[in-house]
Amino acid sequence: MRQGAIVGVMMGALLGGHGSASGARGEREPLDLVRIGTLGPGAVKEISGIVASRQQPGVFWTLNDSGDEPRVYPVRIDGSVVPSVRYPEIPGTLIGGAINGDWEDIALDASGRLIIADFGNNSNARRDLALYILPEPEATEGRAGYLSKVLFRYPDQRSFPAPKDDFNFDAEALFTIGDEIHVLSKNRSDTFTKLYRLDSREPDAVNTLTYIGRFDVKGECTGADATPDGLKVAVLTYDRVFLFERASIRTPIFAGSVRTRQYRLPSGAGDSESICFDADGSLIIADEVSGGLYRMKLDDLDVVRTGTSAGSIDTPRTRAMTFNIRFAGEGDRGQRAWANRADLVRDVIASSDPDIVGVQEALAEQVDWLQKAFPSHTLVGVGRIDGRRGGEATPILFRTDRYTLLASGHFWLSPTPNVPGSRGWDAACERMATWVRLHDRTDGRTVLAVNTHFDHVGAESRRESARIVRAFIGSTRDGAEVILLGDFNAPADGPNSDVHSMLCAPGSPAGGLQDAYRAVFPIPDATEATFCGWEGAIRGGRIDWVLVSEGWRAESAVIDRRMRGYQTPSDHYPVIVDLVRSQGEKRPNAGFGATPP
């Protein structure tokens, strides 16, 4: 439900600064929508969500917010309600046992399940946010029951109600990619919408959403939908539509191309909170005030940012991951104890299915565990204290069926890098790096992967460590493509990013590495934290990086923030990037409005 005035749109400056040279153009005047239907009795009450049936052609499911009973309404494109066989005088399908606390959107997943979102939260104070999931009813059914009720919470909400300067925890937009459920927030403290994903559906627990990223929609997000293939996502505000398109499901939703346009209703004023794709690919918008249905063609939207090609389906891709799994310390108790989170670490790594993984802070017992947990990968790593099993290791795991190990080794980040256990400068701990030289059997090329962990205290140590690492890469590379993984304990951006600059500087001995994550998301953002401190934090600097040589192109990147309830797998989030061999092309500017996951 709409609260307060619409935030004005200042799109012209953004278009001038961030449109891609390869096809972006300025926006046209607002599009005047033409009514194609009017919702019938029941459905017209206060529509807050709409989705096209994937099994019953010509049928759309709608719902109303907290002013209605727990009903969904099957309607036709002209707005007329499909009557039920048993209760023709009562419009809609009653969902038995459900409560309409504040229903705000509706979606269908690939398995044909209807998802009803009870997540309206104007006050940002609700603790009972829920999704009702049920098989899609026949349009002529008057009653149906739900299969499950999934309770959830936002990972970044710390107080109830939230403070006014972080009033992000209302939502009116829901969509699915396959069977994955995504939520877009209605932020009342700024014009960004935050994207979350539901990764767990425990029936007797409050499930924690996974934060993915955010985008400036220049207003309040009021509805969303995705095409069945997941390659297009439409987002609605009170006066604008956004269309996010990507060539591959691997590409983050906000990293592809963007189209947008303002719109006007015939009355000039409205309260549009519902949008969906029709079977012909066009968009259907519903207005809460008038009950009107309107069509918008995709050609009516203006390109403001172009995406990047997904390349050939035969192009070999390399998925690289860096993950500080937190040492198995005796002081970590409860959910933080290694025994209580090892399975979560395993699930996070396994679900990403990486080709090459760099792990930090692994003690000997964790190295042994990694070898058993991932028999498909070869592990190379030693302890930093003695070069054998003493202390934390920085092991590399690589897929055995893809790579042949040509050479491997270790060096210490000290004035005597060949001396195991040596410590340098103002470092609080022994620090080291592990490297492997691999033959990639998919394309015959050579990969040099290096994994490291810089000191958390010594600034001089971090700078000197960067010099050692880049000198090693420069002297050892010998034509190989480089992947540098690690926890660098230093921000990638801002005034304290000297370590990052040293490794990425053009003309450096390492050849001028590029930050794969920043290549996908060029605009630094306040919600890039990779150190979460066990608390699920998202605001802060990105200190875990994947840096690559010029022979790679970063196709996608993600900070994996999934949680199990209130439990994080580690005090760091893993970073995962998909890399393809560069053919000399440059990635189009991906800066318009997007901020990274």
Q: Do 324 and 301 share a domain, yes or no?
A: no
Q: Are residues 69 and 137 in the same domain?
A: yes
Of 307 and 20, more confident? 307
Does the pLDDT at position 3 exceed 70? no
pLDDT band at 308 (very low <50, low <70, confident <90, very high): low
- 568: pLDDT strictly greater than 70: yes
Instruction: Report CA 192 to chain centroid distance, whole Å.
Output: 15
Looking at the structure, tell me whether residues 389 and 275 fall in a common domain: no
Band (309; pLDDT cuts 50, 70, 90): low
Assigned domain for 471 exists: no
Single-letter amino acid code for the residue at 357 = V
Domain boundary among 305, 330, 350: 305
Q: Which run of H or E residues covers position 264?
A: strand 257-264
The residue type found at 586 is K
416 lies in a domain? no
Same domain membership, residue 234 and residue 143: yes
Assess whether 171 and 295 both reside in one domain: yes
Q: Are residues 374 and 514 in the same domain?
A: yes
Q: What is the pLDDT of residue 85?
A: 95
Instruction: Tell me: pLDDT of 68 over 50.
Output: yes
Q: Pick the range with the lowest mean pLDDT from 10-14, 35-39, 165-169, 267-271.
A: 10-14
What token pair was written down for 47?
A: 């529509």
110 lies in the same domain as 133: yes
- The model's pLDDT over 245-302, given as tens digits with 9 standing for 90+, comes to 999 888 889 988 999 999 999 977 668 999 999 999 999 999 999 999 999 999 999 9
> Is 4 part of a structural domain of the chain?
no
Residues 6+ away with beta carbon under 8 Å from 546: 320, 321, 322, 483, 484, 485, 515, 516, 517, 557, 575, 577
Q: Given CA atoms 266, 271, 277, 279 in this order, what sign does their dihedral have? A: negative
Mean pLDDT confidence for 224-240: 97
Assign residue 425 a region (left: φ > 0; alpha: ψ between -120 and 50; beta: otherwise): left
Helix residue ranges per DSSP H, 427-497? 459-476
- Let me know whether 132 and 33 are in one domain: yes
**C-alpha to C-alpha distances, 32 to 235, 266, 288, nearest whole angstrom:** 18, 7, 17
Q: How far apart are CA 430 and CA 164, in angstroms?
A: 45
pLDDT at site 249: 87
- Asked if residue 27 has pLDDT above 50, the reply is yes
**Are 488 and 355 members of one domain?**
yes
Among the candidates 305, 339, 362, a domain finishes at 305
Express each pLDDT in 310-355 by its tens digit. Answer: 444 456 899 999 999 999 999 999 999 999 999 999 999 999 999 9
Please provide the average confidence, as pLDDT, over all residues in the chain.
Answer: 91
Q: What is the DSSP string of 500-539?
A: HHHHH-TTSTT---EEHHHHH--S--TB--SB-TTTT---
Q: Is residue 465 part of a domain?
A: no
CATH number at residue 26: 2.120.10
Instruction: Return the percentage of the chain with pLDDT > 70, whole number.
Output: 91
- What whole-number distance in Å separates Cα of residue 226 and Cα of residue 299? 17
Mean pLDDT within 520-525: 90
Indicate if 280 and 339 belong to the same structural domain: no
The whole-model pTM stands at: 0.82
Tell whether 268 is covered by a domain. Answer: yes
- What does the alpha-carbon distance between residue 539 and residue 527 come to, in Å, rounded to a whole number? 4
Question: Do 289 and 220 sit in the same domain of this protein?
Answer: yes
Number of H helices, E strands in the chain: 6, 37
Task: Assess whether pLDDT exceeds 60 at residue 473.
Answer: yes
CA–CA gap between residue 27 and residue 158 (Å, rounded): 39
Domain extent at residue 106: 11-305
pLDDT digits (tens, 9 = 90+) for 362-419: 999 999 999 999 999 999 999 999 999 999 999 999 999 999 999 999 999 999 999 9
Please report the pLDDT score of residue 25 as a whole number. 52
Weakest-pLDDT range from 189-198, 302-311, 492-501? 302-311
Identify the domain boundary among 271, 305, 339.
305
Query: For position 331, what pLDDT does the model report?
Result: 93
56 within domain boundaries: yes
Distance of CA 439 to the CA centre of its chain: 31
Across-strand partners of 37? 293
Residue 382 maps to a domain: yes
Question: What's the domain count of the chain?
Answer: 2
Token pair, residue 27, equals 């926006």
Radius of gyration of the chain (CA): 26
Average pLDDT over residues 184-203: 94
Residue 472 above 90 pLDDT? Answer: yes
Which of residues 67 and 580 earns the better pLDDT score?
580
Is the predicted pLDDT of residue 164 greater than 60, yes or no?
yes
Judgement on whether residues 229 and 378 belong to the same structural domain of the protein? no
User: Could you tell me the CATH number of the domain that includes residue 390?
Assistant: 3.60.10.10
Kindly state whether residue 70 falls inside one of the protein's structural domains: yes
